[in-house]
Amino acid sequence: MKRVIAIAMQKGGVGKTTTAVNLAASLAATKRRVLLIDIDPQGNTTMGSGVDKSQLKASTCEVLLGECQLADAFVPIEHGAGYTLLPANQDLTAAEVRLLTLPIGRETKLRQALAPKRNDFDLVLIDCPPALNMLTVNALVAADSVLIPMQCEYYALEGLSALLSTVEQIRAAVNPQLAIEGVLRTMFDPRNNLANEVSAQLIAHFGDKVFRTVIPRNIRLAEAPSFGKPALFHDKESRGALAYLALAGEMIRREEESSGLVRSVAPLTSGTAAAGDTATATAATSPSAPAGATADTAARPMEATAMAAPVGPAPAPQAEERSR
């Protein structure tokens, strides 16, 4: 894939960090080399990956300020996720202040730091802070595209409008190739009429840019960060984990369709979700999936993972979820 994707939204609490951590783990489970960059001073991506942000010897802060090389700050994730993390903590706030004092080149620091190692990874994901600041600008300048997690509520629509305006400014000023990767509906509850209305508006406006996969509200997704693990390694059979596996498959399918390539998704690593689990993501996120979509469907990995959900709401959580 060889791409850099910024996960951004100018509103907090819409699932940026949850998406960054779980999407990185899901893509890594398909044997892709993934780098996850935390560029948020809160350091939630770092903590959600099981790394103590208070004990960092080098972080995104030092990389942006040119005090260390990118590779020197890498932290390999050991709990089976198989991705590499560039961690962050509250020191990034000071780094942002120092960047603002630079006369030129302050918005390209991350792109310059990433350039020597960019081809070492199939995919680079950048978790952005929930605001338009110099850190977010650095991420957007370094990225090829923007993935927008979107909670289907009114304030999130306002944040989406602001982000799209920012993307246009970045295109005009410094990164004309910046594209919209897609809009991801997160924390979706189909019993909420407003959520359904906002979802319909998104589809009407963005069309194919809205991911077919829908991320449902899920207890396992919410509690996984407290264990320092992606949901895939906390409870691989949870609806949240299966939904992110489905999202990874959908992104792979989109990439292969746009490039004209046909490539099978590699088997998931031992100890992670099996191929049958990936196929089960179809049933977890698609109301119209056939009842027999299990391991037989997994024999066609692209369909099993990519066509995980129709453009529409996810099914309501069942009583089984409450026991999880």
In the predicted structure, residue 310 carries a pLDDT above the cut 50: no
Q: What is the pLDDT of residue 145?
A: 96
In the predicted structure, residue 298 carries a pLDDT above the cut 70: no
When pLDDT is averaged across residues 194-219 and rounded to a whole number, the result is 91
Q: Which one is predicted more confidently, 217 or 266?
A: 217
Convert the chain into a string of H (helix), E (strand) and C (coil).
CCEEEEECCCCCCCCHHHHHHHHHHHHHCCCCCEEEEECCCCCHHHHHCCCCHHHCCCCHHHHHCCCCCHHHHCEECCCCCCCEEECCCCHHHHHHHHHHCCCCCHHHHHHHHHHHHHHHCCEEEEECCCCCCHHHHHHHHHCCEEEEEEECCHHHHHHHHHHHHHHHHHHHHCCCCCEEEEEEEEEECCCCHHHHHHHHHHHHHHHHHEEEEEEECCHHHHHHHHHCCCHHHHCCCCHHHHHHHHHHHHHHHHHHHHHCCCCCCCCCCCCCCCHHHHHHHHHHHCCCCCCCCCHHHHCCHHHHHHCCCCCCCCCCCCHHHHCC
Q: Which one is predicted more confidently, 232 or 264?
A: 232
When pLDDT is averaged across residues 204-219 and rounded to a whole number, the result is 92
Q: What is the pLDDT of residue 265?
A: 45
- pLDDT tens column, 30-83: 999 999 999 999 999 999 999 999 999 999 999 999 999 999 999 999 766 689
Among 66-75, 122-131, 229-238, 266-275, name the one with the lowest average pLDDT.
Answer: 266-275
- pLDDT tens column, 119-139: 999 999 999 998 889 999 999
When pLDDT is averaged across residues 167-181 and rounded to a whole number, the result is 93
Q: pLDDT-derived band of residue 205, with 50, 70 and 90 as boundaries?
A: confident
In the predicted structure, residue 4 carries a pLDDT above the cut 60: yes
Among 149-153, 271-275, 291-295, 310-314, name the one with the lowest average pLDDT.
Answer: 291-295
